Structure 1
Amino acid sequence: MSLPAENLRELGPVSHLPTVAAPMDIVRAALATGNVEMYREAVALAKEMDAFAARKAFDNAMADAKAAIPTIRKNREVDAGEKNGRQGPKYRFEDLAEIARTIDPILGEHGLSYRFKVSSEINQPVRVTCIVSHRAGHFEETTLTSGKDDGPGRNAIQQIGSTITYLQRYTLKAALGLAASQDDDGRISERTAEPEVYTPPPGSITQEQADNIRDALEAKGASVKAFLQWAKRDRIESIPADYYDACIAAINKFQKV
């Protein structure tokens, strides 16, 4: 947008024009003329310039942040179960908490943040929008929808919760441009429930302790299934907190034959 020539003439000779270094300088110069129309156009121009600067700052911050984000550790394993008499594959993926632990400090360093908007109306797909914002004011939205995850053993709230978690994970990855091709679960034609909806019994180990056990098992080359049989538990997260030290000690003593 540019100011009309007749309005520019009201500012006086070029030699008397103030140096315009920022959008607000344009607004002040127009305001000084007393011309209301020119002032309105100057304000509109200043808004366009601010929006352009904010978008540029957003793009630069996103580029710098993406360059700094490492490969995100896949900290979850899901068994696709049995279908048509055949055992489905197992796959690993990074859950939402692991993504957040990896990216949040990096995004913060570059003035970026994200939040989610969720919509789940009766008889309608679940809708999740990830909004990535920069401190300069520019933001962008990424939206995905999906039917409720009505797998076996889930009540209505769990169906919605599982779907929301799934969509949050994928809208965030899409908004940040994180590679989805590395997701093992992208090759599974029928999505299974997200483990994040599982609530361990009271007195269980923390998520950090569960991750430590998984890391220790992986470092020793030990089988998670065999470990769970030894611990008499169906999930690592359900191990009582009082057993944590004993579990770590047992894993450390393990020697693969």
Structure 2
Amino acid sequence: MERHPHGGCTMTEVTKMEPQGAQTPVMRAADQMVAMIERVVTDPSADLDKLERMLAMKERMDAQSAKVAFAQAISAARAEIPPIMKDATVDFSNKEGKRTHYQHETLAGIARVIDPILSQHGLSYRFRTSQDGGAVEVTCIIAHADGHSEETSLRGAPDQSGNKNNFQAVGSAVTYFQRYTLKAALGLSAAADDDAQGAGPRPEDRRGPATVSPDQFVKLRDKCEEADVDPAMICERAKVPSLEQFPAADFDAVMRKLQLTIDQKKPTIEGDEIPY
């Protein structure tokens, strides 16, 4: 250890003895605010209005600090979460005998992968479900231990595909929205379960075109129902197994065509005819 001839520490030693704190500027400012509040509280002549303003400022600083901690935790967790394997298969035929066949990841399969990682970073998730006017809405809430949370919602009609009854249609829509709001909130990607063949290099040309987002899927499904068009016909023309895998590049075009079909079915009013 270096010491000054008169017994003092050199600048090098002082530099080494400085604490290596990991506090952010927001956290340091919050600590200073706490000290100021403590001084005001212990002062008999303190201005209560000033104290209330300081407490309100402290709440805003705490909220900002929690938001920063949330962003850091999400970033760290996402760096550790691998692509989710598609561990379930949908395979059914409609009343006309047209087959729908595709793979998707289950909510349980997603949970097995992400739950331990999220927990390590102080993150958790839950769902809020509601129904209004026949529509189903699911909200995924991602929360951090420091108090900040963010929400992602999807809303749409019950899933009537595959000869489901009313209860099954609602349950299917809820499960679908839970899966996709969670994926959207965390920015998760999915990969087909290829029986471990994916351990080797994957050529770029094996990647298919970008598919519709969860929100676009709901809009497309609802538009098909409004136009009284079988989704299987849309999928057949696009050469995809399901609406979930409909090409995003063709979304706007097919929505325009479906709307045109709807418009053509609307009754027209001629002359002084009064519609009843």
TM-score (norm 1): 0.59
In the TM superposition, 1:132-171 aligns within 5 A as 132-171=142-181
What is the Cα deviation at residue 136 of structure 1?
A: 0.2
Aligned partners of 1:26 and 1:46 also within 8 Å: no
> Quick one: which of 79, 83, 93 aligns to 1:81?
93
Superposition CA RMSD, Å:
3.0
> Quick one: which of 88, 101, 104 aligns to 2:115?
104
Aligned-partner SS, 1:160: helix
Aligned length: 171
Higher relative contact order by CA 8 Å / sep ≥ 6: 1 or 2?
Answer: 2
In the TM superposition, 1:1-257 aligns within 5 A as 21-33=31-43, 34-79=46-91, 81=93, 87-88=99-100, 90-121=101-132, 123-179=133-189, 186=211
What is the Cα deviation at residue 86 of structure 1?
A: 5.3
Q: Unaligned regions of 5+ residues in structure 1, if any?
A: 1-18, 192-257
Q: 1:190 to 1:38 in 2, by over 3 A?
A: closer
Q: 1:22 to 1:132 in 2, by over 3 A?
A: farther
My pick for the range that moved more, 91-100 or 147-156, is 147-156
CA distance in 2, matches of 1:20, 1:76: 48
Structure 2 counterpart of 1:176, one-letter code: L
Q: Residue by residue, what CA displacement relative to the aligned partner does 1:188-247 show, whole Å, maximum 9, x if unpaired?
A: 8769xxxxxxxxxxxxxxxxxxxxxxxxxxxxxxxxxxxxxxxxxxxxxxxxxxxxxxxx
Aligned-partner SS, 2:89: strand
What is the Cα deviation at residue 47 of structure 1?
A: 0.5
Aligned-partner SS, 1:137: coil
Q: 1:153 to 1:80 in 2, by over 3 A?
A: closer
What is the Cα deviation at residue 150 of structure 1?
A: 1.7
* Higher gyration radius (CA): 2
CA distance in 2, matches of 1:153, 1:83: 8
What is the Cα deviation at residue 72 of structure 1?
A: 1.1
Moved over 6 A (4+): 180-185
What is the Cα deviation at residue 26 of structure 1?
A: 2.9
Structure 1 counterpart of 2:183, one-letter code: K
Q: 1:75 to 1:180 in 2, by over 3 A?
A: closer
Q: Unaligned regions of 5+ residues in structure 2, if any?
A: 1-28, 193-206, 223-276
Q: Residue by residue, what CA displacement relative to the aligned partner does 1:77-101 show, whole Å, maximum 9, x if unpaired?
A: 122636877544x321111000011
Q: Residue by residue, what CA displacement relative to the aligned partner does 1:23-51 show, whole Å, maximum 9, x if unpaired?
A: 42232123234110110011011101101
TM-score (norm 2): 0.55
What is the Cα deviation at residue 73 of structure 1?
A: 1.3
- Aligned residues with identical type, % of pairs: 40
CA distance in 2, matches of 1:148, 1:170: 15
CA distance in 1, matches of 2:136, 2:89: 24
Aligned partners of 1:173 and 1:180 also within 8 Å: no
Structure 2 counterpart of 1:59, one-letter code: A
Q: 1:87 to 1:107 in 2, by over 3 A?
A: same
